[in-house]
């Protein structure tokens, strides 16, 4: 069982601010899939800040960060999506979950995801969904541990 | 090859209107998963109309129907979701794709999904994603035929 022991260091989950964009992008870029997709330059491409402004104005989207001792060490985006199915219940979509590579294994991702699940339940959602890449086997086990089921196939077209 | 032949009857894809809600809900209810989730009553529960009004006001969500000879025979919801990843590119999420059971096999679903994919490309999205239930094996083959890859695992919590 020892391999599954996780130290839980308490974090603060708060809304992302414009000055967090660079550290969020650094986390998005810091894995085998993100590396090819992001442009971690200084200064950061304006497209990231433009996207942040759109997110920030959208009442249905919450981009949050995990803060630990004043440092941003994780992020997550929760989208609240209205729909007709399930008697008109909105659903939650969790995206872009990342933890800083030097802070993994401390329960930060778990606290972020639990925050999103509780937030979804508080808002009366009947369903929370996410897509995780086939190759992210550890992530799939992680989500199963937090109560998610591998119920769907996630299909994508990427341009 | 004959089993794959599909008759393509031309349809019109248009924004859903409030008076379409009942026929959309009937399509959502008309399969093994939807039957247990929907309440196809007359009058329809107000929650469906409340959800329609929220969707209708949301500029990021397009609920469309396929109309054939003046009858609604299919539906699809496309959500445009801003995000920081992929250099701040928005992504498209396709949900609630349905075709009236007596009009399946006529290329209606294909035209709806192609509409959503083209719409996403026109809006400059880099990614279109969807979740399809593990048990919907035909749907998975259908989406693969339209260019989608089985790249992700779709995970859910349902309350």
Q: Show residues of chain A in contact with B49, CB under 8 Å.
A: 88
When CB atoms are compared, the residue of B54, B133, B150 closest to A82 is B54
d(CA A32, CA A1): 28
Q: Residue B99 above 90 pLDDT?
A: yes
ipTM: 0.90
A44-64: pLDDT as tens digits = 999 999 999 999 999 999 999
B5-30: pLDDT as tens digits = 456 678 999 999 999 999 999 999 99
| Whether A21 and B84 lie within 8 Å, measured CB to CB | yes
A20-34: pLDDT as tens digits = 999 999 999 998 788
| Whether B127 and A24 lie within 8 Å, measured CB to CB | no
Q: How is residue B27 written in tokens?
A: 């399509």
| Whether B151 and A155 lie within 8 Å, measured CB to CB | yes
B residues 50-109 lying closer than 8 A (beta carbon) to A = 50-52, 54-55, 58, 60-61, 63, 77, 79, 81-90, 93, 95-96
What is the pLDDT, as a whole number, of residue B1? Answer: 37
Contacts of A97 (CB under 8 A, 6+ apart): A74, A75, A76, A109, A112, A113, A130, A139
Residue A134: half-sphere exposure toward Cβ, Cα within 13 Å: 8
A63-122: pLDDT as tens digits = 999 999 999 999 999 999 999 999 999 999 999 999 999 999 999 999 999 999 999 999
How many CB atoms sit inside 10 A of residue A98's CB? Answer: 26
d(CA B72, CA B53): 19
Q: How is residue A157 written in tokens?
A: 């077209």
């Amino acid at each position: 069982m020892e391999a599954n022991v996780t130290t839980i260091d308490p974090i603060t989950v708060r809304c992302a601010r414009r000055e967090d964009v660079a550290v969020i992008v650094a986390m998005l870029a810091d894995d085998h899939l993100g590396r090819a997709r992001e442009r971690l330059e200084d200064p950061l491409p304006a497209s990231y800040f433009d996207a942040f402004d759109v997110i920030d104005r959208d009442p249905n989207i919450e981009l949050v960060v995990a803060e630990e001792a004043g440092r941003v060490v994780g992020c997550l985006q929760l989208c609240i999506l209205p729909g007709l199915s399930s008697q008109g219940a909105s659903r939650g979509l969790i995206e872009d979950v990342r933890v800083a590579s030097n802070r993994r294994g401390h329960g930060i991702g778990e606290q972020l995801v639990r925050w999103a699940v509780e937030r979804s339940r508080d808002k009366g959602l009947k369903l929370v969904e996410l897509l995780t890449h086939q190759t992210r086997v550890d992530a799939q086990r992680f989500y199963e541990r937090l109560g998610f089921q591998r119920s769907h196939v996630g299909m994508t077209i990427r341009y």
